[in-house]
Amino acid sequence: MRKKISVLEMALKAKEASKALMIASTETKNQALLFMAEHLRLNKDNLLKANKMDLDSLKPDATDAFKDRLALNDKTIEGMASSLEMMATLNDPVDNVLSTKTLPNGLVLEKVSVPIGVIAVIYESRPNVTSDAGALCMKSGNAVILRGGSESFNSCQEIMVSIRYGLEKAGLPIDAIQMVESKDRAELQELISLEKNIDLIIPRGGRGLLSFIKENSHIPLLLHLDGICHTYIHKDADLKKSLDIVLNAKLRRTGVCNATETILVDYDVMESHLKPIINMLIENGCEVRGDRLTCELDDRVIKATMEDWATEYLDAIVSIKVVKDIEKAINHIDMYSSNHTEAIITENSKAAEKFLKEIGSAVVMHNASTQFCDGGQFGMGAEIGISTGKLHARGPVGLEQLTTFKYKVRGNGQIRPK
């Protein structure tokens, strides 16, 4: 039985562990990842039991989408293990020379990638974030303190058994990846106040969690905000592509942040495209809320409110609006988007390039489902989250995004003139 330690002690241990990770070889880090994957598979039965405890403890009003985010099964556990193995095949993002130049005075200036240091990752419901975040931070040379949600407490603790196994067997300090072993809000408050010991906080959760951290911490944040994602059906969209992409973007999984929440449709293709889209969504169990024109096409559509355009449903609900043209579509996205992911469906390359260039979101797509916005799908192995801000990292946060850089300057006795 491991002795429970305070959050401050965890941060101090993480600081020490980060020094060992900074100089750890790529081979050692990769071995740790492979050992973690091996143990996850061996420990599957215990992990499923822990997950069942979490699911059985949910409140009766928990939505199906929330249960989907929390639930583990053979497939998701194998996915976690496979993700760790894929991460072991990726290039080490640390100690890479990003640029080199020789100054007129002979000084040689090297820009080199380095770890950030100690990261706190605070998240809700998704237990797989435990392995993804822990592994990404470790491979990128960062020590990490994880704080999962109370609803996934047992699952996260069981995943940590495999993480500690991998670290220890590879010869890395087990304090490189730690988890707050308490549901107490006071410990979260303490964690986000340790600005001398923690270099970055990555929060993943609802607006309440994000607001709490922003109001109570001075530590830099890498924000993962709402996923109010849009799919825009341009007047030159192919109908089959539109139907296939919308179905996947909205209903493949409704409780994920890259699910499309609003569909915009050009007025010119209301009859040809919007009518079959509405019918397809409703037949597949999706509630459709629409503007006046959308409601007139199908009496099963519920009248949308202004609030709908700014809502991340995370459920089988979608809002639809008819727009005059691409300019109106871009204006709507500019007003309501959370800067996560937007897509345009069109066979018009000029329109596609205009959309890709003028939309300011972190990820912009042409003829593809918004649900492709994912670190694994982007070849990053996994992700800690989708950064919707404009500084440091944008889009899926993988290995490279968890590094910063420093300058190494090599001289031969140069001194600066007075």
Q: Is the pLDDT of residue 84 over 90?
A: yes
Q: Using a cut of 0.85, tell me whether the model's pTM lies above it.
A: no
Residues ≥6 apart with Cβ < 8 Å to 346: 234, 235, 236, 237, 352, 355, 366, 367
- The answer on 299 and 236 residing in a single domain is yes
- The answer on 199 and 266 residing in a single domain is no
Contact 230, 260 (CB under 8 A): yes
Is 210 within a domain? Answer: yes
The C-alpha atoms of residue 346 and residue 318 are separated, in whole angstroms, by 21
The CATH number that applies at residue 246 is 3.40.309.10
pLDDT confidence band for 382 (50 / 70 / 90): confident
Average per-residue pLDDT in the chain?
A: 93
- The answer on 397 and 368 residing in a single domain is no
The C-alpha atoms of residue 213 and residue 215 are separated, in whole angstroms, by 5
What's phi and psi for 378, nearest 5 deg?
-85, 5
- The answer on 327 and 403 residing in a single domain is no
Q: For 284-308, what is each residue's pLDDT tens digit?
A: 999 999 999 999 999 999 999 999 9
User: By C-alpha distance, which of 242, 201, 235, 238 is closest to 218?
Assistant: 201
- pLDDT at position 72, please? 95
What's the burial of 337, exposed, middle or buried (CB within 10 Å: 0-12/13-18/19+)? buried
Q: For 349-372, what is each residue's pLDDT tens digit?
A: 999 999 999 999 999 999 999 999
- The answer on 292 and 155 residing in a single domain is no
- The answer on 328 and 236 residing in a single domain is yes
The CATH number that applies at residue 397 is 3.40.605.10
- The answer on 333 and 394 residing in a single domain is no
Is 417 within a domain? Answer: no
Helix and strand tally (H, E) in the chain? 14, 16
Q: Is the pLDDT of residue 90 over 90?
A: yes
Is 103 within a domain? Answer: yes
For 73, 115, 134, 150, 227, the CA distances from 68, given in Å and listed in that order, are: 10, 33, 22, 16, 17
CA 406 to the chain's CA centroid: 26
- pLDDT at position 3, please? 66
The C-alpha atoms of residue 252 and residue 281 are separated, in whole angstroms, by 12
- In this structure, how many other beta carbons lie within 10 angstroms of the beta carbon of residue 310? 16
Q: Can you give the length of the chain in residues?
A: 418
The number of folded domains in the chain is: 2
Task: Find the DSSP H helices in 24-102.
Answer: 26-42, 44-56, 64-70, 74-89
Q: For 255-271, what is each residue's pLDDT tens digit?
A: 888 999 999 999 999 99
- The answer on 67 and 209 residing in a single domain is yes
For 4, 135, 162, 191, 194, the CA distances from 173, given in Å and listed in that order, are: 17, 14, 14, 21, 21
Structural domain containing residue 248:
229-372
pLDDT confidence band for 377 (50 / 70 / 90): confident
pLDDT confidence band for 2 (50 / 70 / 90): low
Calculate mean pLDDT across residues 134-148.
Answer: 96
Contact 141, 22 (CB under 8 A): yes
Q: What are the tokens at 269?
A: 């293709």
120/204: higher pLDDT: 120
- pLDDT at position 207, please? 75
Is 1 within a domain? Answer: no
- pLDDT at position 386, please? 84
Calculate mean pLDDT across residues 221-244.
Answer: 92
- The answer on 17 and 87 residing in a single domain is yes
Is 378 within a domain? Answer: no
Q: 28-62 burial, b for 16+ CB within 10 Å, e for fewer?
A: ebbbbbbbbbbbbeebbeebbebbeebbeeeeeee
Residues ≥6 apart with Cβ < 8 Å to 5: 13
DSSP 8-state class, residue 375: T
- The answer on 311 and 193 residing in a single domain is no
Is 2 within a domain? Answer: no
Is 414 within a domain? Answer: no
- The answer on 272 and 246 residing in a single domain is yes
Q: What are the tokens at 382?
A: 């996994």
- In this structure, how many other beta carbons lie within 10 angstroms of the beta carbon of residue 336? 18
Q: Is the pLDDT of residue 402 over 60?
A: yes
Q: For 195-229, what is each residue's pLDDT tens digit?
A: 999 999 998 877 788 888 888 899 998 877 678 99
Is 377 within a domain? Answer: no
Contact 238, 347 (CB under 8 A): yes
For 79, 149, 239, the CA distances from 375, given in Å and listed in that order, are: 13, 22, 29
Residues ≥6 apart with Cβ < 8 Å to 224: 202, 203, 204, 257, 384, 385, 386, 387, 388, 397
* String of DSSP letters for 112-132: EEEE--EEEEEE-S-THHHHH
165/211: higher pLDDT: 165
- The answer on 388 and 363 residing in a single domain is no
